[in-house]
Amino acid sequence: MKMITAIIKHFKLDDVRKALTDAGIQGMTVTEVKGFGRQKGHVELYRGAKYEVRFLPKVKIEVAVPDDKLDEILNTIQESARTGEIGDGKIFVYSLQDVVRIRTGERGKEAI
């Protein structure tokens, strides 16, 4: 099993959620985060004063998937989150040792 963590632009969240639901994903965790990559932030003007925004707002999506669905889900996220502009985000993949459904005690792939 794998844990996929995707950092994407806010306005792409609904597109990614719909695409993942259509691909059979039954649950995900979404967190609002701030950070920077190659963008390094930007300068904004507020009431006549310039200030530097070093951490840009993004959305982090976490999804647990069985190994056999990994490539499909990675492609789904990439295609639905892409704008072609700098700052589209990143996808990270981690190995999951185990998953336990608290209510039923199911473990592994059945608990996803």
For 52-96, write each residue's pLDDT tens digit. 777 788 999 999 999 999 999 999 999 999 999 888 999 999 999
Q: How confident is the model at residue 41 (pLDDT cuts 50, 70, 90)?
A: low
Q: What is the mean pLDDT of the chain?
A: 91
Class of domain 2-111 (CATH, top level): alpha beta
Is the pLDDT reported for residue 26 higher than 70?
Answer: yes
Q: Is the pLDDT of residue 19 over 70?
A: yes
Q: Band of the pLDDT at 12, cuts 50, 70, 90?
A: very high
- Whose CA is closest to 55, among 26, 77, 34? 34
pLDDT of residue 64: 96
Percentage of the chain surpassing pLDDT 90? 73
Give percent of the chain with pLDDT exceeding 70.
91
Nearest to 78 by CA among 1, 3, 4, 25: 4
Rounded Cα distance between 17 and 14, Å, is 5
Per-residue confidence (pLDDT) for residue 98, from 0 to 100: 95
